[in-house]
Chains A and B, each alone.
Chain A
């Protein structure tokens, strides 16, 4: 038997004269659906229906049509998993990720640390580094291809080489050595560093100054020691988010590859290859759908694995 007494009822505030009657759950529900409904419809129509349709198509032959024409079981999946071009596109992605993920992490963190320490015009520097994020990948790729890294003598990169007496390089056409990686990686770095820098700045600003003060009292020296033992551990959640977002973005690489070097088999990431198969001129939507689903599963598995390794979302983060 409970000995606790029932709490005294909280007196309701008297209704204001002339105040509107509360609409209750029905009114809130209606408002909710009016605002959210269109987006839910959009999500269903443009995301979930295509995913389900793609899953269906992946078990059928579907050339030049989005209507399944002949059931082929899992043969599209087998074809894609044994297709040397698809496997090579996964290799291209891996190479790209090896370049881009660590570089973006280190450089955006370095930029964030620098900008965060600036005493004057901090907002200006933040904006300057963030601005490229607003630029389209296609536009940036065209600037890179036509002005900076074209292979003729008046391209910016070749002009600089010429100052040092070095012969011009056909940056985007030379396969051996693979100079095309420099434009591809640099354009993405230019475009995305600002975004990740902002994430790191937000993380840095959440670190309590008292931690640093306590460390100084304990004899820690400003610089590497406080960075290693305070800043970096405190940025764990942000760091993991940056790594996961970066890796997924690397999987989705399309624009810079397609606009800088086209659909070429020596550096063709998965999305460019799948685009060529299903949405390009080939229009083989059965194999394309199977490839897209394989890629989606790989991204999911890698993200979960990454999550497991870094423990993103653990209590205390």
Chain B
């Protein structure tokens, strides 16, 4: 007798078994497809589908606003992907594949250009280029080409409780030594003098460097953080950390005004986006200073951060994506104004819009705008994340572990030089 008989046709059970297996396989392969963030073809009609990625803004109403803008755009079907948590890593992974975003917000670094991740946007910005601040253009320019349209400018500064400084009889600090002394003076058993982040103040690395006259990179692409004054500035950050007057372990980090609003600290390093939230909690009891100068030879410094809109080079619809960016961040001035002023406070990157931004004309917001104009520093696109990590490790060792600044600078310099040789030869 043969091992098996030829099938006499497919029984009902066979049919169910096989179709069930196929269905399971189909479901499995469908699950493997993942969510690309783009809408499905159905429902979009003949319109192009575009996926637009944002990080999660902390201010209430921002997600609804982004969805409103997407809905208002009629030339393409735009889906918004709102990413809580580690947006930078998700974006980096997304940009590796053609299933990532078509349009996204980020900060430019030369690696993105060298790897052909973003497309130049000179054609869409050409007519209004003069209406953007030079720093905002420079931070998005590589080899003379503009790769991003600045969406918002976020100055980062020190906000303080006027009443607490008055009570302690001290003036707003003008040098780093003043800042350390003020933080000590303002510290009680309930309130710490200053909050600069739960990591002990890594966000202050750039401002401290600028306040000493240094820079991340020089104009001819060499490390600009290696001098003696830079070492002195970093050691001052350690002195601040070690003074026991810095709030550590706050439930929210420095990007959120929770610490100053809940009276956990008298001063906080934070961005202008938090001004409406702080004013709601503290009223007029709020003043602002730039990061103070290292000494009489130094200058105060403001980190002029922000977000920029880019078009992914891997997008199957680059032209449509550029058209969306032009519509939203160049043509639709009412939406730009809404985005900058109706949730948190940000400076609109367009000079013409910033000039008529009524909410930034007085009080602490106006003071911040002025500090940004006088002392603002934007990112250098030649500074890559690898250099940033080496710089951050250097700061961690100096600030939190009290390591010798010269030795740590030398280690970071080695990594930065290797990266510079890779990029610029």
Q: Which of B5, B18, B28, B92 contacts A281 (CB 8 A)?
A: B92
**How distant is the Cα of A279 from the Cα of B96 in the complex, in angstroms?**
10
Q: Which of B21, B89, B95, B388 contacts A64 (CB 8 A)?
A: B95
Which of B61-69, B109-117, B123-131, B373-381 is the interface stretch? B109-117
With A37-B25, A63-B115, A155-B249: A266-B396 Cβ-Cβ less than 8 Å? yes
Contact B249 A31 (CB under 8 A): no
With both chains docked as a complex, state the minimum distance between the C-beta of B409 and any C-beta of chain A, in angstroms. 15
Whether A174 sits at the interface, judged by CB under 8 Å, is yes
Contact B21 A173 (CB under 8 A): no
**How distant is the Cα of A192 from the Cα of B288 in the complex, in angstroms?**
47
> Which residue of B is nearest A34, CB measured?
B21
With A24-B4, A151-B250, A266-B400: A64-B389 Cβ-Cβ less than 8 Å? no
**How distant is the Cα of A23 from the Cα of B402 in the complex, in angstroms?**
75
Whether B32 sits at the interface, judged by CB under 8 Å, is yes
Whether B401 sits at the interface, judged by CB under 8 Å, is yes
Whether A135 sits at the interface, judged by CB under 8 Å, is no
The interface bits of chain B over 245-269 (1 if a CB of A lies within 8 angstroms of the residue's CB, else 0) are 0011111000000000000100000
- Which residues of chain B are near A265, meaning CB under 8 Å? 393, 396-397
The interface bits of chain B over 387-417 (1 if a CB of A lies within 8 angstroms of the residue's CB, else 0) are 0110001001100111000000001000000
- Max chain B Cβ within 10 angstroms of own Cβ: one of A63, A149, A173: A173
Contact A176 B401 (CB under 8 A): yes
Contact B393 A281 (CB under 8 A): no
> Which residue of B is nearest A146, CB measured?
B251
With both chains docked as a complex, state the minimum distance between the C-beta of A18 and any C-beta of chain B, in angstroms. 13
With A66-B96, A152-B251: A38-B25 Cβ-Cβ less than 8 Å? yes
Contact B4 A283 (CB under 8 A): no
- Which residues of chain B are near A262, meaning CB under 8 Å? 199
Contact B199 A173 (CB under 8 A): yes
The interface bits of chain A over 200-217 (1 if a CB of B lies within 8 angstroms of the residue's CB, else 0) are 000000000000000000
Q: Which of B4, B190, B386 contacts A22 (CB 8 A)?
A: B4
**How distant is the Cα of A45 from the Cα of B17 in the complex, in angstroms?**
25
**How distant is the Cα of A45 from the Cα of B29 in the complex, in angstroms?**
11
For window 112-171 of A, CB contacts with B under 8 Å fall at 146, 149-153, 155, 169-171
**How distant is the Cα of A63 from the Cα of B422 in the complex, in angstroms?**
11
**How distant is the Cα of A155 from the Cα of B198 in the complex, in angstroms?**
15
Whether B3 sits at the interface, judged by CB under 8 Å, is yes
With both chains docked as a complex, state the minimum distance between the C-beta of A316 and any C-beta of chain B, in angstroms. 39
**How distant is the Cα of A2 from the Cα of B375 in the complex, in angstroms?**
103
Contact B249 A279 (CB under 8 A): no
- Which residues of chain B are near A41, meaning CB under 8 Å? 28-29
Whether A245 sits at the interface, judged by CB under 8 Å, is no
Whether B93 sits at the interface, judged by CB under 8 Å, is yes
Whether A85 sits at the interface, judged by CB under 8 Å, is yes
- Which residues of chain A are near B20, meaning CB under 8 Å? 34
Whether B200 sits at the interface, judged by CB under 8 Å, is yes
For window 168-204 of B, CB contacts with A under 8 Å fall at 190, 198-200
Whether B88 sits at the interface, judged by CB under 8 Å, is yes
- Which residues of chain B are near A172, meaning CB under 8 Å? 198, 249
For window 74-124 of B, CB contacts with A under 8 Å fall at 86, 88-89, 92-93, 95-97, 111-112, 114-115, 117
> Which residue of A is nearest B13, CB measured?
A20
- Please tell me the number of chain A residues within 8 Å of chain B, measured between CB atoms: 50
**How distant is the Cα of A208 from the Cα of B306 in the complex, in angstroms?**
69
Contact B4 A282 (CB under 8 A): no
- Which residues of chain B are near A153, meaning CB under 8 Å? 190
Whether A35 sits at the interface, judged by CB under 8 Å, is yes
With both chains docked as a complex, state the minimum distance between the C-beta of A238 and any C-beta of chain B, in angstroms. 34
- Which residues of chain B are near A42, meaning CB under 8 Å? 28, 32
Contact B4 A284 (CB under 8 A): no
With both chains docked as a complex, state the minimum distance between the C-beta of A265 and any C-beta of chain B, in angstroms. 4
**How distant is the Cα of A45 from the Cα of B34 in the complex, in angstroms?**
14
With both chains docked as a complex, state the minimum distance between the C-beta of A45 and any C-beta of chain B, in angstroms. 7
Contact A266 B112 (CB under 8 A): no
Whether B44 sits at the interface, judged by CB under 8 Å, is no
Contact B389 A282 (CB under 8 A): yes
With both chains docked as a complex, state the minimum distance between the C-beta of A108 and any C-beta of chain B, in angstroms. 30
Whether A27 sits at the interface, judged by CB under 8 Å, is yes
- Which residues of chain A are near B24, meaning CB under 8 Å? 34, 38
With A22-B4, A25-B3, A66-B96: A152-B111 Cβ-Cβ less than 8 Å? no
With A64-B111, A173-B198: A283-B92 Cβ-Cβ less than 8 Å? yes
For window 30-62 of A, CB contacts with B under 8 Å fall at 30-31, 34-35, 37-38, 41-42, 45
> Which residue of A is nearest B3, CB measured?
A24
**How distant is the Cα of A82 from the Cα of B164 in the complex, in angstroms?**
51
Whether A264 sits at the interface, judged by CB under 8 Å, is yes
The interface bits of chain A over 209-239 (1 if a CB of B lies within 8 angstroms of the residue's CB, else 0) are 0000000000000000000000000000000
Whether B316 sits at the interface, judged by CB under 8 Å, is no
20 chain-A/chain-B pairs, Cβ below 8 angstroms: A23-B7, A25-B4, A37-B25, A38-B24, A41-B29, A63-B114, A64-B114, A146-B251, A150-B249, A150-B250, A150-B251, A151-B249, A152-B250, A152-B264, A172-B249, A262-B199, A275-B89, A281-B88, A281-B89, A283-B96
Q: Which 10 A-B pairs have the closest CB atoms?
A: A151-B249, A24-B4, A34-B21, A170-B248, A64-B115, A173-B248, A170-B249, A281-B385, A38-B28, A265-B393
Q: A21-B5, A41-B28, A41-B29 are in contact. List 10 more A-B contacts (CB 8 A).
A: A21-B8, A24-B3, A24-B5, A64-B96, A85-B393, A150-B251, A153-B190, A170-B248, A172-B198, A262-B199
Give me the interface of A with B, judged by CB distance under 8 Å: 20-27, 30-31, 34-35, 37-38, 41-42, 45, 63-66, 84-85, 146, 149-153, 155, 169-176, 262, 264-266, 275-276, 279-284
